[in-house]
Amino acid sequence: MLYKQFGKNGPMVSRLGFGCMRLPSIGEGENKRCDDEKCIPIIHRAYELGINFFDTAWGYTNRDNQRIVGKAVHDFRDKIYLSSKLPPSEVQQPGDFRRKLEHTLKLMDTDYLDFYHMHALNAQKFDHAKKMQMDKDMLKAKEEGLIRHISFSFHDAPRVMVDIADHGIFDTLLCQYNLIDQSNEEVMAKLADRGMGVMVMGPVAGGMISAGGEDFRKLYDTPAETAEELALRFVLGYDAVSLALSGMQSIEMVEKNVAIVEKIASVTAEERQSYKATNDKLKGLSELYCSGCAYCNVCPQGIRPQQHFKAYNRAKVWGLYDAAKQDYLDDGLDKDAEKCLGCGACSAECPQFIGIPEKLAEIKAYFTK
């Protein structure tokens, strides 16, 4: 396993972090629970192979995920780093944060968390967190040693990430970044330069890059043998990134990913540059390229045009039509074209001069034809 310092003052973490969200479960709906018999050997194998970072969250697997992660790492707790997350929506009155943190510590059978995140922040959720004094409560918990690092995970426009980091309490962040979504790249570098630890989720774009398989891999000049390997080489080859979280569901997956990461040391600046050049070439062939800046998020109907363009470009630029269509339909984006009033407020903000209302209709036709 390879290790890297997590931010300027952070610990040495394995470059592959274990995202525990997708651990095997039993039961359906409200009865869904982690499958202890399957989960524990997977986590133990990851530890044996050198993974020392395990990430869970309050809500995963019907709130049963933190329990199994704590149970699985119990015998080597002091040798690894435990990370969890609490969404601001869980904090509705003073005292909620503390109660939930204490519940998590008890459930995970640990005295402290190495990393504790405000979960899935956007501008609105961060405002709510501050209103509920979650930031102050996190600082207090850190002073008391219940949390070692204060972190946030992020889903909003890149400029919002800087605003949140500027608040000053955060040591590390977790955001999306991969070969087909580099909207956060510049901001990640800026915050890493300031000494923040940067961790990445979705290195294979939620399975989309894996689904592209050999056709996708062949788009790039790469020593990688598979599309997944290419994806991890790209993400972990970026200086700003300390580690990538991968949601692993089986021992085979753990062994495969560890073997890939062990080869990452050989990623040169030239190799990464060639991936970026290929991306630029592919984007240049597309008739539309949205940078994901989100300046257009001014819609009175709540439409987020960049979500449409992201799906469209994944299909058009990288040839991932089936997977992109699935995401487009799963996210209910096909309903947006009817909701659009054609007011043009979004297009007026777009630095790429995209005629957004017309494109929404075109993209709908493209995915529902």
- Contact residues: ligand SF4, CB under 6 A: 290-296, 299-301, 303, 305-306, 309, 340-346, 349-350, 352, 354, 356-357
Give least dist CB 280 to ligand SF4, A.
16
Q: Considering beta carbons, is residue 255 or 331 the nearer one to ligand SF4?
A: 331
Q: Considering beta carbons, is residue 29 or 302 the nearer one to ligand SF4?
A: 302
Give least dist CB 295 to ligand SF4, A.
4
Give least dist CB 366 to ligand SF4, A.
16
Q: Considering beta carbons, is residue 36 or 181 the nearer one to ligand SF4?
A: 181
Give least dist CB 188 to ligand SF4, A.
18
Give least dist CB 335 to ligand SF4, A.
12
Q: Considering beta carbons, is residue 123 or 169 the nearer one to ligand SF4?
A: 123
Query: How far lies 172's CA from each of 6, 169, 197, 274, in Å?
Result: 8, 10, 4, 29
Question: What values do phi and psi take at 124, rounded to 5?
Answer: -65, -45
Q: Considering beta carbons, is residue 35 or 331 the nearer one to ligand SF4?
A: 331
Give least dist CB 91 to ligand SF4, A.
30
Q: Considering beta carbons, is residue 106 or 339 the nearer one to ligand SF4?
A: 339
**By C-alpha distance, which of 175, 151, 148, 153 is closest to 77?**
148
- Please write down the HEC assignment for all residues of the chain: CCEEECCCCCCEEECEEEEHHHCCEECCHHHCEECHHHHHHHHHHHHHCCCCEEECCCCHHHHCHHHHHHHHHHHHHHHCEEEEEECHHHCCCCCHHHHHHHHHHHHHCCCCEEEEEEEEECHHHHHHHHHCCHHHHHHHHHHCCCEEEEEEEECCCHHHHHHHHHCCCCCEEEEECECCECCCHHHHHHHHHCCCEEEEECCCCCCHHHHHHHHHHCCCCCCCCCHHHHHHHHHHCCCCCCEEEEECCCHHHHHHHHHHHHCHHHCCHHHHHHHHHHHHHHHHHCCCCCCCCCCCCCCCCCCCHHHHHHHHHHHHCCCCHHHHHHHHHHCCHHHHHHHCCCCCHHHHHCCCCCCHHHHHHHHHHHHHC
Q: Considering beta carbons, is residue 12 or 341 the nearer one to ligand SF4?
A: 341
Q: Considering beta carbons, is residue 255 or 349 the nearer one to ligand SF4?
A: 349
Give least dist CB 183 to ligand SF4, A.
8
Give least dist CB 240 to ligand SF4, A.
22
